[in-house]
Amino acid sequence: MARRDPDDKPSEVPPRQRLPDGSSATGRSRITEARGYHPRGRTVGESVRPVLRLVPDAEDATRTRPRASTAETSTARPSTARPNTARPNTARTDTARTKTARRSPIHAHPASSRRVGPPRQPRLADQARRLRLGTAVLLALFIVIAGRLVAFQVTDAPTYAAQGLAARLQPVNLPAPRGSILDRYGAVLAGSAEARYVFADPDLVKDPAKTADALSPVLGIPRSELLPRLAPHRRGDGTEVRFEYLARGVPVTMGQAVSALNLAGIGVRRDESRVVPGHDLAANLIGFTGRELTGLGGLEASYDELLRGIDGMRQFEIGQPAGEVNLDHEIPGGYHEEIPARPGSSLQLTIDRDLQFEVQRVLGVKMRQAKAITGSAVVLDLRTGEVLAQASYPFYDAANPFNYQPGERGDAASGIAVDPGSVHKAIVVAACLQEGIVAPGDSVLVPSSITKGGTRFSDTHPHAQPVRMTLPGILAWSSNLGTITLADQLGAEKLYEYQRAFGLGEPTGENLPGESAGLVQPPANWSEASHGSIPIGMGVSVTPLQMAAVYAAIANGGVWVRPHLVRAVIAPDGKSTPAPAEPTRRVISAENASALRTMLEAVVTVPGATGLSAKVDGYRVAGKTGTGKLVQDGKYVAGEVASFIGMAPADAPRYVIAVFAHTPGGNGGVVAGPAFAELMEYTLSHFRVAPTGTNPPKFRVYP
């Protein structure tokens, strides 16, 4: 092959020619032209698609044109030789390149030393890799499923087991026996007897409406009350109710009648009912319970938590299909749990049952004679503050409390507020003695009348001129003017102080529900007329029990003791715990208390005195009469409240009795005194208190 001078210019490229098959060609080979094709500065290897479109043309050109010699091919290529850099075997090299070009029209750019190979074939699937990936996925699924199975069997198993067990459990309530209420000697005033309770499992009740219709006439409960308990419902915490009381304490025969109805989801169990053997005996104190044996009145309500105890629960696994009536079908050897009921404690009261009966009998007779609206009587052991009897008229039957109106089931002795009237005068005299304003033997100048704030006050024993009266005379004739005169010397502040010290203006703490505190006004609230009315017991609201405690303090040497009804608490095991000692406080000295007791004897001994009807044969009696008003809703009601409060024996007091009677037309004085005398005589005889054998002193009204 002839060498070409490096300085030679490339030959002129011949014009493009159209070949017979439609393709075009130039003086240059299409393969040669393809070698120089590099669109956008890319090599053929970097632009495969455009180069491949040129391949058919190049092949066609090759087939139509005669094969060029090696020299021609070499001469047609642009010279890339450099001066003095000719390589040996150039012809051989060019020939090899020409052969390579014929075999593959795709080759590297002349400026590139890289050879472009055939197009890459699609990669075949890697079966081993697929197998490994599939195995990993299956293993992951297996781990997840295995984890859930472990959770079901290990961690969640107790929860699912408990849920399944709960669906098969039948709960049965075990009512705690309610404690009894006993008198001071252990006689039962209120107790419990065997009965039945009726319950429902709402989940097993097939037709709540028809079930309610069937139970209503038997239980005596309105259908509207039964239906909500029979229909499925949930508690406040969202749990389903599977046990619902329908009636408690029903008679055994009624329970048998319910069982005979054979109603789905309805059961009958053993229960207890409240029994009050004395019916109206001490009913005002005992109170009553509701259908579920919950205390609703009296001591039953005040000590309900102590009396009722804590119910137990029995749960067992049942095997009968849903809807069966027999709710007792327990699976032998199945789940069984029982929490025993804790019985309630019993109350031993200070009440004497026999004395209570006599007080109610006498009070009932006297109140009916006077056509009284309400009445009350209290018997206190003045040394201990124990209430031995406390009656309230009219009476009601605690065994059938719902046959009476709510106002007929209260306790008048602690619940009604009255203006005490003249029984309040003992507080004024006691305060004056304690403050040294007067001595027991002194006399007081009593005017013929006194006017306070436009209100004129006078006496039932009038006198035209001021006269001097003894302290026993002022009490015997219940002188309003003498008492007001003493109160003026004492002062309003001191009188209020002694009223509070004697326990007025606050509940006694006897612990009966609904006890009234009464009302005692401080002097800042007094009107001008109050300085005349309050000393004689008008404008002051008290309860009969409060006033009984005042006279008990006078009888007890000047020491006030809180009245109370509970003597001891008896635990279910029979252990008795005495009630804690009641609070006491000294109000007046023992000497002044003794002097005042002697003065009060004038009320039942001096001729013309107001309390002559309260005498007790063979015993010395000290006391005071009173005539006041009944206060309701802050207003006086028609009629008057007559009272007598006394103690005996006067020279060695043991008991204090207070009798109050609200009569519509007055004339209550003829009731309270005789009732006191009869009750005190029985009390002294009942407790075997012998007469002292001494006679009361002789009293004078005027010195």
What is the per-residue pLDDT across 284-315, written as a single tens digit (0 to 9) for each?
999 999 877 889 999 999 999 999 888 887 77
Q: Pick the more confident residue, 281 or 32.
A: 281
Q: Residue 115's pLDDT is what?
A: 55
Quick check: 19 pLDDT over 50? no
* Alpha carbon distance 599, 619 (integer Å): 16
C-alpha distances in Å from residue 207, one per residue of 227, 264, 695: 10, 9, 81
Give the bridge partners for 628, in sequence order: 641
Q: Residue 8's pLDDT is what?
A: 46
As a whole number, mean pLDDT of residues 527-538 equals 96
Express each pLDDT in 243-267 by its tens digit. 888 988 889 999 999 999 999 999 9
pLDDT band at 549 (very low <50, low <70, confident <90, very high): very high
Quick check: 17 pLDDT over 90? no
As a whole number, mean pLDDT of residues 469-487 equals 97
Q: Residue 520's pLDDT is what?
A: 96
Q: Residue 116's pLDDT is what?
A: 58
Q: Residue 316's pLDDT is what?
A: 72
Quick one: what percent of the chain has pLDDT higher than 90?
58
Quick check: 64 pLDDT over 50? no
**Fold of domain 170-344:** Penicillin-binding protein 2a (Domain 2) (3.90.1310)
Q: Residue 667's pLDDT is what?
A: 61
Express each pLDDT in 365-404 by its tens digit. 999 988 899 999 999 999 999 999 999 999 999 999 999 9
Q: Residue 235's pLDDT is what?
A: 83
Q: Residue 134's pLDDT is what?
A: 86
Cβ atoms of 474 and 482 closer than 8 Å: yes
Q: Residue 486's pLDDT is what?
A: 97
* Alpha carbon distance 101, 105 (integer Å): 5
87-101, 553-567, 680-694 — which is least confidently predicted?
87-101
68 class by beta-carbon count within 10 Å (0-12 exposed, 13-18 middle, 19+ buried): middle
Query: Do 170-344 and 353-686 fold alike per CATH?
Result: no
Q: Which residues are catalytic?
A: 422
Express each pLDDT in 574-609 by its tens digit. 999 999 999 999 999 999 999 999 999 999 999 999
* Alpha carbon distance 658, 553 (integer Å): 13
Consecutive H or E run containing 451: strand 450-452
SS (H, E, C) 392-430: EECCCCCCCHHHCCHHHCCCHHHHCEEECHHHHHHHHHH
Cβ atoms of 10 and 78 closer than 8 Å: yes
Q: Half-sphere exposure of 567 toward its Cβ, with a 13 Å CA cutoff?
A: 16
Express each pLDDT in 99-121 by its tens digit. 444 444 444 444 445 555 667 76
C-alpha distances in Å from residue 657, one per residue of 389, 395, 421, 679: 9, 19, 17, 8
pLDDT band at 9 (very low <50, low <70, confident <90, very high): very low
pLDDT band at 124 (very low <50, low <70, confident <90, very high): low
DSSP 287-321: -EE-TTS-EEEHHHHHTHHHHH-B-EEEEEEB-SP
pLDDT band at 166 (very low <50, low <70, confident <90, very high): low
**Mean pLDDT estimate for the chain:** 83
Quick check: 528 pLDDT over 70? yes
Domain ranges in the chain are 17-79+87-103, 170-344, 353-686
Q: Residue 142's pLDDT is what?
A: 86
Q: Pick the more confident residue, 63 or 246.
A: 246
Neighbours of 122 (CB within 10 A): 5
3-state secondary structure of 49: helix
Q: Residue 619's pLDDT is what?
A: 96
* Alpha carbon distance 673, 122 (integer Å): 129
Cβ atoms of 94 and 110 closer than 8 Å: no
Q: Residue 26's pLDDT is what?
A: 47
Superfamily of domain 353-686 in CATH is DD-peptidase/beta-lactamase superfamily (3.40.710.10)
pLDDT band at 80 (very low <50, low <70, confident <90, very high): very low
